[in-house]
Amino acid sequence: MTAAAADSRAPTLGFTLVLGLIQAIWPLTVDLYLPAFPQIARDLGATPGQVQYTLAAYLFGVALGQAALGPVTDKYGRRAPLLAGLGLYLLGTLVCVLAPSVGVLIVGRVVQALGGAAGAVVVSAVVRDRYEGKAAAGLFSTLMLVTGVAPAIAPTLGTWLLTFLPWRAIFGVLAVYGALCLLLVALRLPETHPAPARVGMRLRDAASVYAGLLRRRVFLSYSLAAGFSGGMLFAYITGSPFLFLGELDASPGLYALLFGVNATGLTLASQVNRVLLRRFEPGQMARWAGRVAVVVGLSLLVAAVFHVLSVPLVALLFFALLCCAGLLFPNNTALALSSVSERVGSASALSGTTQSALGALSGTLVGALGGGSVAIMGVITACAVGVVVCHAAARR
Number of domains in the chain: 1
Q: Is residue 343, in this structure, part of any structural domain at all? A: yes
**Is residue 273 over pLDDT 80?**
yes
1, 35, 78, 88, 375 from 346: Cα distances, Å? 19, 35, 12, 20, 34
Query: Burial, 176: exposed, middle or buried (Cβ in 10 Å; 0-12, 13-18, 19+)?
Result: exposed
- The Cα 311–Cα 302 span in angstroms is 15
Q: How confident is the model over 16-35, as a mean pLDDT?
A: 84
Name which residue leads in pLDDT, 61 or 210.
61
pLDDT for 339: 74
pLDDT for 296: 95
Q: Is residue 164, in this structure, part of any structural domain at all? A: yes
CATH of the domain at 47: 1.20.1250.20
Q: Is residue 388, in this structure, part of any structural domain at all? A: yes
Highest mean pLDDT among 84-98, 203-217, 230-244, 324-338: 84-98
CA 191 to chain centre: 23
pLDDT for 5: 43
End-to-end CA distance of the chain: 29
Q: Is residue 194, in this structure, part of any structural domain at all? A: no
Q: How confident is the model over 308-327, as a mean pLDDT?
A: 92
- The Cα 338–Cα 197 span in angstroms is 17
Q: Which domain holds residue 141?
A: 11-189+206-395
Q: Is residue 4, in this structure, part of any structural domain at all? A: no
pTM of the model: 0.73
CB atoms within 10 A of CB 192: 20
Q: What angle do CA 121, 66, 58 make, to 5 degrees?
A: 110
Q: Is residue 172, in this structure, part of any structural domain at all? A: yes
pLDDT in tens, 47-60: 776 787 788 788 88
**Percent of the chain surpassing pLDDT 90:** 28
pLDDT in tens, 71-128: 787 777 888 889 999 999 999 999 999 999 999 999 999 999 999 888 878 887 788 7
**Given pLDDT bands bounded at 50, 70 and 90, which one contains residue 4?**
very low
Q: What is the mean pLDDT of the chain?
A: 83
pLDDT for 70: 74
pLDDT in tens, 123-153: 877 887 777 667 777 777 777 766 666 666 7
Q: Is residue 200, in this structure, part of any structural domain at all? A: no
- The Cα 263–Cα 273 span in angstroms is 16
**Percent of the chain surpassing pLDDT 70:** 89
Q: Is residue 167, in this structure, part of any structural domain at all? A: yes
**Given pLDDT bands bounded at 50, 70 and 90, which one contains residue 68?**
confident
**Is residue 173 over pLDDT 50?**
yes
